Each structure stands twice: as structure tokens, then as C-alpha cells.
Homo-oligomer: A and B are copies of this chain.
């Protein structure tokens, strides 16, 4: 490898890499933020938990690979696939992050509503939801990826309308507030929360139907669906203004 290599496509400068995608898939189940994990069936890290993912194929982009892997892992398809937020997180490229060869991984964060069942499909031994607080000791650098994705989601709830991605197609403001409280780990004042949400144009819109009761007890709540806005102005900040 000469030091005076022109930019371009000098054969000595070109190094072959494998490119993979890794997915940090989040959902809110039973008042807890959970992540989707798979149990590795092969070396290295056989038997360890890891984020779902796989190789990017020759004819697809990283986004397409991520969507394909997500469908394989969760059984997400058709109408469900539409109610899914998938965004690129960042790329992890440390030499040595895979013990055998040079692998660059494009990480994605995905937010899905509470799905019926995870499907341990395809190549993974098993797949399951696990509270993010318990997701430690993952394979490769997946602890780090998951932590980065977790903080990204926490931060994006502040200034985007992403919270609705955790909710089903129709939801109550109480359910939306639960999402915020679960992801941020704080309690929010109910009247103030609904005042903020309803004052944010395009965040939620009322469904032209009848209300229903959700958890059984309590007064029936109005149903809302996600609005057309993508960002929140002004933002809905978490208390204690922490961004650790």
C-alpha cells in the first residue's frame, strides 16, 4: 500500500469489506421498553444474545437489507410493515469488531407498536423481546449499538412525533403518555402532557369515531391517530433536561 495513492480506485487502496446491518428494534410492552434480541446459533458468540441483522446483498441498499431482515425476524409484513419507523443510526467500523474479518455494520433503530409475537424466523435460533435494561453482554459491539440507539430514541421523542410509532393505529392520549414515561423513565403530569400534545399542530388528530375504555377501569378516553407532522415545535422536553 503506497502512501502516494491517488483518490480513485487504485487497486492497492481498495480493501474488501463485508457490510452488514444491525437492528435495534424497540417496542413498549407492559410498561417497559423492550428490544428484540436473537440467540446466535453459530460462532463466534454462539449461544449469546445479539441484535438481529445480516449481510447486505449485492443488489440492495442497507435500508433495503434492514427492512428485509426486520421482516424475517419479526414477521412484519403487509399492513404492519407500514406502521413501522426505521431510521439509520450510524455505522460501526472499528477494525476488530468482528474477530474473524473486516466487517462494517450499518446500524438502524426501529420502532414498532406492541406486536402479537416475535418470530424466531430464518437463521436465528430464537428471538424474543427483552427489557433494554436487561440487554447486557450482547455479542460483538451490540451493547454499544443498543445504548446508542436507546439514547437516540430518547432524544428524538423530544423534538419529533416519533412517540406515536410505538402506539397502535388508534390510541388514547394516556397510552401516548405511557410511551413517553416508559422511554424517559419519568412520570409526567397528565393535564400538562395533553395540553402540550394537543397544542402541537399535526402531532395527533382525533379519530372520527366513538371513544372506548382501554385498561378496564377509568373513564373512557377519546381515540387519536398519528398526525402528519414529523417534528415538534416547540419540543416536548423531558424534565431535568438530561442528555447524558
Contact = CB atoms under 8 A, between A and B. Distances in A.
B14 A17 contact: no
Nearest to A241: B233
Contact of A1 (B6, B16, B124, B159): B16
Contact of A15 (B19, B122, B159): B19
- The quantity of this chain's copies bound in the complex is 2
A1 B56 contact: no
A102 interface: yes
Given A18-B14, A57-B15, A6 B91 contact: no
Contacts of A56: 15, 17, 93, 104
B106 A41 contact: no
Contact of A6 (B95, B123, B159): B123
A58 B102 contact: yes
A16 B18 contact: yes
Given A7-B42, A8-B43, A17-B17, 17 more contacts: A1-B16, A4-B122, A4-B123, A7-B38, A7-B41, A9-B100, A9-B101, A15-B19, A15-B55, A15-B57, A17-B56, A58-B102, A59-B95, A61-B94, A93-B106, A104-B106, A159-B235
